[in-house]
Chains A and B, each alone.
Chain A
Amino acid sequence: MKPEVDGSVVAACAVVKSFGPTPALRGASVAAGAGEIVAVMGPSGSGKSTLLHCLAGILIPEAGQVWYAGGRVDTLDESARSSLRRDRFGFVFQTGQLVPELTAEENVALPLLLAGTRRAKAIAEAREWFDRLGLDGLEQRRSSELSGGQAQRVAVARGMVAHPAVLFADEPTGSLDSLAGEQVMNLLTDAARAEGTTVILVTHDPRVAAYADREVIVRDGQVISPNRVSP
């Protein structure tokens, strides 16, 4: 039975996950439809990042189910989950995600190279994103030569370059000032909507969550669904 899965691209159903004796998720359920941007909010330690990691097949829950495109994720072996993450999912994290030895364009091309795309083709596809995300002229820079906002835009390009079905973004503007964060969110959501990509956006910042179509609140390892009452 997959109660929340029908019509959704990615879903977690009654997911339980602990770290040692500490419960992180206690029956959390959430689902996101095609092209939908869902903000996952909650206080520090509420379990929102753990929920993202379970949805993305990075962590395996102890109970409950994780679904992607009508198939179970949590029952796949590590190799199959790794392929799924590489081929169908994109990721943007808060900081420290660019490979410092690579140029910006090589960083963006990385998911394509790992998937076996020829280097010339991968670099060409990566360069298209430099124009889309206002990064022209930065292709040969290394991460240490980029501002925080530029580095996050490179990270967004890398997350989107393989045209993922789902982009997982965990506090993507957490290390940026408000204007740089705004620019990253504008570009990230524009790119996702243009591509029809579903976005799971973990954030504690209501200004970032306001870019989403809707929000869910994680509290004490469970997803709270407030009754929406029109003011």
Chain B
Amino acid sequence: MSVVPVTLLGLLERQPSHGYDLKRDYDTYFGRGKALPFGQVYATLARLARDGKAAAGEIEPGAGPERKRYAITPRGRAEVEAWLAEPVEPEPHLQTVLFAKVVLALMLGREADTYLDAQRAAHLQRMRELTAIRRNGGVVDALLADHAMFHLEADLRWIDVTNSRLSALAQVVRP
């Protein structure tokens, strides 16, 4: 599942919300300068409702955009749970996903350090595989493996630093 739908689901697990509130919170915590278009928010909510992961309430009176309040379903909650528990395939340029998992886990009162430990183990396993390639392959293989390993190292340093900052981060993102 891509990051935006499951992140919106996570925000719904926190509390039932209108699309407008979801967009605001997404942009605040996860957008990092790139706002989520309203159209994408409502299209994603419609798909989540169609798939039984979120439920839309009645249309509420009022001006402006669609005034439906969405709530997460047990199926949606299970999806958030599974996504947060699962380490990402170690590869370069993971920052967006790693960041979203940590912030969402803290926001929902889940154990972000458990996730970070699992992610560290997945990264180190990939580094072992790359080390074997570097030792057994040719120079070109070694250079490609080196490039991947430097990116994984950067992630690992971020994981360690984030681990030491979880308490401070939790204070910022928890309502």
Contacts and interface: CB of A to CB of B under 8 A. Distances in A.
Interface of A: 43, 186, 206-207, 209-212, 215, 217, 224, 226-229, 231
Interface residues of B, number: 26
Nearest to B130: A210
B78 interface: no
Interface in B120-139: 120-125, 127-128, 130-131, 135
A45 to B, nearest CB: 12
B121 A206 contact: no
Contact of B87 (A212, A215, A231): A231
B117 A206 contact: no
B4 to A, nearest CB: 20
B160 A43 contact: yes
B124 A215 contact: yes
Contact of B86 (A43, A217, A229): A229
Contacts of A207: 127, 131, 149, 153
B114 A227 contact: yes
A215 B125 CA distance: 9
Interface in B131-170: 131, 135, 149, 152-153, 156, 160, 164
Given A206-B124, A211-B131, A231-B88, A217 B153 contact: no
Given A43-B160, A231-B89, A209 B122 contact: no
A186 B136 CA distance: 11
B163 to A, nearest CB: 8
A125 to B, nearest CB: 27
B121 A226 contact: yes
A43 B165 CA distance: 13
A217 B122 contact: no
Nearest to A204: B160
Interface of B: 85-90, 114, 117-118, 120-125, 127-128, 130-131, 135, 149, 152-153, 156, 160, 164
Contact of A209 (B87, B124, B130): B124
15 contacts: A43-B160, A206-B123, A206-B127, A206-B153, A206-B156, A207-B131, A207-B153, A210-B131, A210-B149, A211-B128, A211-B131, A217-B120, A224-B117, A226-B114, A229-B86
A226 B111 CA distance: 12
Nearest to B135: A186
Given A207-B131, A229-B118, A231-B87, 5 more contacts: A210-B128, A210-B149, A217-B117, A224-B117, A226-B118
A17 to B, nearest CB: 22
A215 B124 CA distance: 8
A224 B164 CA distance: 15
B115 to A, nearest CB: 9
Contacts of B114: 226-227
A211 B134 CA distance: 11
A200 B117 CA distance: 20
A120 to B, nearest CB: 36
B87 to A, nearest CB: 5
A87 B121 CA distance: 34
A128 B90 CA distance: 41
A78 B144 CA distance: 50
B149 A229 contact: no
Contact of A210 (B118, B124, B160): B124
A190 to B, nearest CB: 9
A228 B125 CA distance: 10
Q: When A and B form their complex, which 4 residue pairs have the shortest distance between CB atoms, in order from nearest? A: A226-B117, A210-B127, A210-B131, A231-B89
Contacts of B152: 206
Contacts of A215: 121, 124
Nearest to B86: A229
Contacts of B164: 43
Contacts of B88: 231
